[in-house]
């Protein structure tokens, strides 16, 4: 069985969704495929931000119709027949869909921005690339911030 996750909106929302998907797929013995729109909301490949390691990622450009169709076709082929599709930002409803998929042992494609499952060890997969870390360090240095815990970066403010 497979879980295709298509995280939406900004970077933090996507990371929360991916974290939940990794945890849920591992606990329920589902193979995970991440559909990453490198244009919408973020503007870059996931592999440019973090070490993607063993993650199975299908990246596409949300502004290019051919790229969208090809990515979705690859996901459909990997799912085969008899899968569920859920596009919701209601975490309770999403949990119901996932439980049904798990009970029936059917694959599921989820498009969402919510954290739908609590990870036992959150964000263990999240290892920022050096280039990204250096950029954050540079921004905090320019702002004169010492002992920075986190930094919220939006494309619109850069």
pLDDT in tens, 35-82: 999 887 788 889 888 999 889 999 998 888 899 899 989 999 988 888
pLDDT at 115: 93
Q: What are phi and psi of 55, to 5 degrees?
A: -70, 140
Largest CA distance in the chain: 55
Identify which of 49, 25, 23 has the alpha carbon closest to the alpha carbon of residue 36.
Answer: 49
Is 109 in contact with 85 (CB distance < 8 Å)? Answer: yes
Is 88 in contact with 94 (CB distance < 8 Å)? Answer: yes
pLDDT at 157: 43
pLDDT band (50, 70, 90) for residue 158: very low
pLDDT in tens, 121-147: 999 998 988 887 888 788 888 888 876
* Residue 49: Cβ within 10 Å count: 19
% of the chain with per-residue pLDDT over 90 = 52
CA distance 62 to 68: 6
pLDDT at 150: 63
Instruction: Kindly report the average pLDDT of the chain as a whole number.
Output: 88
CA distance 91 to 21: 12
Is 107 in contact with 1 (CB distance < 8 Å)? Answer: yes
Q: Is the pLDDT of residue 21 over 70?
A: yes
* Consecutive H or E run containing 37: strand 31-37
Q: Is the pLDDT of residue 98 over 60?
A: yes
């Amino acid at each position: 069985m497979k879980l295709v996750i298509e995280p939406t909106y900004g970077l933090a929302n996507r990371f929360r969704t991916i974290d939940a998907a990794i945890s849920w797929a591992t606990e329920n013995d589902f193979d995970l495929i991440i559909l990453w729109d490198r244009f919408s909301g973020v503007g870059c490949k996931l592999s440019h931000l973090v070490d993607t390691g063993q993650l199975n990622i299908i990246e596409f450009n949300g502004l290019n119709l051919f790229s969208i169709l090809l990515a979705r076709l690859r996901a459909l082929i990997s799912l085969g027949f008899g899968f569920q599709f859920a596009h919701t930002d209601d975490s309770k409803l999403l949990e119901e869909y996932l439980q049904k998929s798990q009970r029936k042992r059917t694959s599921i494609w989820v498009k969402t921005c919510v954290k739908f499952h609590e990870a036992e060890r959150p964000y263990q997969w999240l290892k920022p690339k050096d280039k990204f870390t250096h950029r954050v360090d540079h921004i905090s240095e320019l702002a004169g911030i010492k002992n920075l815990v986190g930094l919220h970066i939006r494309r619109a403010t850069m």
